[in-house]
A and B are shown apart, each in its own frame.
Chain A
Amino acid sequence: MATLQLHNIVKRFEGTEVIKGVDLEVNDREFVVFVGPSGCGKSTLLRMIAGLENATSGDIMIDGKRINEVGPAERGLAMVFQSYALYPHMTVEDNMGFSLKLAGVPKEERRRKVREAASILQLEPLLERKPKALSGGQRQRVAIGRAIVRNPSIFLFDEPLSNLDAALRVQMRIELARLHEELDATMIYVTHDQIEAMTMADKIVVLQGGVVEQVGSPMELYHHPRNRFVAGFIGSPKMNFLAVERVDAGPDGVEVRLPGGETCTVPVDGSSLRDDALTLGIRPEHLELDPQGPLSGRIEVIERLGGVTSLYVRMQDTLITVSADGNVASRVGDTLRFGFERACAHLFDAEDLALPSLARHPLAGLNRQDNRASSMAGGQ
């Protein structure tokens, strides 16, 4: 049970700035996910919170107290590593009880606490085994159990599911969400997988190049991405981007010319728009087959997943993804027209910043703990 604040955190490795001034607020019992592509600095940020790396400058505060100089073990945190980092020469029980042993906790109490944590994760039958004799999923649970035993104020997860196969990953995702409910603890979770971020987070922090691109609830990021990077990163399949030309712009909407030559009006605030070359963003699931639609293209590839069919459509030199109904009868080579819901479209200016939507999506503020996602941090 704790809050965490980061104030203008900077990290330099031998002169290269990898974290470029991050501000962040993590509320009590919140499940926060750091997400971003490889090398965006999300793991470094987590490791600085853990105390495994030192911040070059800035303040890390837990419950309002600056802890930059406090050692990792004294911060009251526990971390689950990507590789699990189980001690291979110790049994599951010893692995889980190691921190208590170091802290001088008497043997009986240690045993009791380990059993307690083991029962939460159904690890009791495995306590005498060595990590070598466990499956990937079991190792993962032991690593989580080791963190639980410490009864930390904040749990840190560093890509904990990336070494599991797809089916197990889904299962562990559910288990982690359940655990968050059960333990009622603050959790910070690092991943490069936006699906993990969307499914588990109260608050997502999107990082790129050491900068926070956006902070917000999953639905907020999905419906109101702040810029083109976030728009492309959140959501699967990825958002389509089309280069469009401004025709007219005002506070009630922006009229643009689409690649096919037709025009349409996107309901965003264009009152301060000065650029002519814009980017239109439409998610595959918001495109629909429409004989009267303003967009047209030739189908190059069809992927049928059963319930959904993905059409890869060539529109001039761009390949557009369309998530169509599973029963769509189109074939490769067909030329079709597409339409889209104007309110679901996004418009980005020449700097790739999103123009503000005129209407907020009703679910954008949805949040299990109703903490207002704020702090558009991140310097530039």
Chain B
Amino acid sequence: MTTLKTKQALPAEGHLATAPASEVRARHTPLVPSAGARRVWLTLLGWGIALLIFFPILWMVLTGFKSEAEAIADPSLIFSPTLESYIAVQARADYFKFALNSVVVAFGSTLLALVIAIPSAYAMAFLPTRRTKGTLLWMLSTKMLPPVGVLVPIYLLFRDVGLLDTRTGLVIVYTLMNLPIVVWMLYTFFKDLPRDILEAGRMDGASTLQEVLYLLLPLTLPGIASTGLLSVILSWNEAFWSLNLTSSSAAPLTAYIASFSSPEGLFWAKLSAASTMAIAPILVFGWLTQKQMVRGLTFGAVK
């Protein structure tokens, strides 16, 4: 009949449950069996595999410093380094044209994508509506559209409006190609910023623009920078659109390097020198942003 109860949890339960000490010490296996041997073995294996994977790049860099004769001779690490291939590549004035195209297109499209994406990511992170999640996923899905599927219409559209083989055309394509990744990455970085800070700013009288300029941008600069770098990397290395939409005047380095595939362009040392120059900056960017790159490339699914 009595429904006596109290909300007081029994505080003593924790005290009473003392673990039997015998279980704790029983199965402690030594954590490192034979540290020394294991370490040597690991070091050899780790470095061996790393060098094996890196070898083609290393070889390419070395070949760039060889003469053409040495380049096709039996592989050898002993040779007299020469800059003649680099000089030869530089001497072909059009190398700079391609490099310039790459720079303009990669940085131009990245800048444009950031300008378009920042307001969007800001809204998604700080003014979420019921549709925000859907919009984000839809953006991801546009990235799934295989370029070959839309190659024909884009080619024809570009032909009709005169964008074929122009840097503007390539900038447009790369901007749109990277926009979903840029929005997603910025979104995840913005979302990491405690909302309270922006609200404190609002209490302090900051307008939306001031909020973005004084608080959001300075606080997320590292994130914005790595987003930008990732976008530059992806644009710089993009080969499908650059091979199909450009021929000579707007062709970036990917297309330039591809021209070495023809038999008459088979000068390995020069190819290597040109390739080294084409990938060196991106390789460094890539090393710098590898961690954030994971976020961008997996749309935040792996952190």
Contacts and interface: CB of A to CB of B under 8 A. Distances in A.
By size class, the interface of chain A is: 35 or more
A319 B8 contact: yes
A361 to B, nearest CB: 24
A238 B12 CA distance: 16
B83 interface: no
A379 B202 CA distance: 32
A329 interface: no
A321 interface: yes
Given A88-B219, A303-B11, A318 B196 contact: no
A242 B4 contact: yes
**Chain B binding site: helix, strand, loop or mixed by DSSP?**
loop
A87 interface: yes
Contact of B6 (A51, A146, A319): A319
Contacts of B12: 300-301, 303, 312
Nearest to B200: A85
B3 A83 contact: no
A359 interface: no
Contacts of B283: none
Contacts of B303: none
A98 interface: yes
Contacts of B11: 301, 303, 312
A188 B6 CA distance: 32
B94 interface: no
Q: Is chain A's binding surface mostly helix, strand, loop or mixed? A: mixed
A237 B219 contact: no
A278 to B, nearest CB: 11
Interface stretch (B61-69, B157-165, B203-211, B244-252): B203-211
Contacts of A83: 194, 196
B196 A81 contact: yes
A238 B218 CA distance: 48
A102 B8 CA distance: 51
Contacts of B205: 73-74, 99, 102-103
Contacts of A243: 2-5
A316 B10 contact: no
Interface string A87-124: 11100000000110011000000000000000000000
A241 B5 contact: yes
Given A301-B10, A312-B10, A73 B203 contact: yes
Contacts of B196: 81-85
Contacts of B202: 51-52, 71-73
Contacts of A300: 10, 12
Contact of A87 (B3, B6, B10, B197): B197
A249 interface: no
A299 to B, nearest CB: 11
A67 interface: no
A221 interface: no
A281 to B, nearest CB: 11
A89 B220 CA distance: 10
A238 B204 contact: no
A238 B9 CA distance: 11
A87 B8 contact: no
A86 to B, nearest CB: 8
Contacts of A312: 8, 10-12
B201 interface: yes
B199 A73 contact: no
A266 interface: no
A317 B203 contact: no
A88 B194 CA distance: 11
B140 to A, nearest CB: 24
Nearest to B221: A89
A172 to B, nearest CB: 18
Closest 4 CB pairs of A and B: A73-B205, A318-B4, A85-B196, A99-B204
Given A82-B196, A312-B8, 20 more contacts: A72-B203, A73-B202, A74-B205, A77-B203, A79-B203, A83-B196, A85-B199, A85-B200, A87-B197, A87-B215, A88-B219, A98-B204, A102-B210, A232-B7, A237-B8, A241-B7, A243-B5, A259-B2, A303-B12, A312-B11
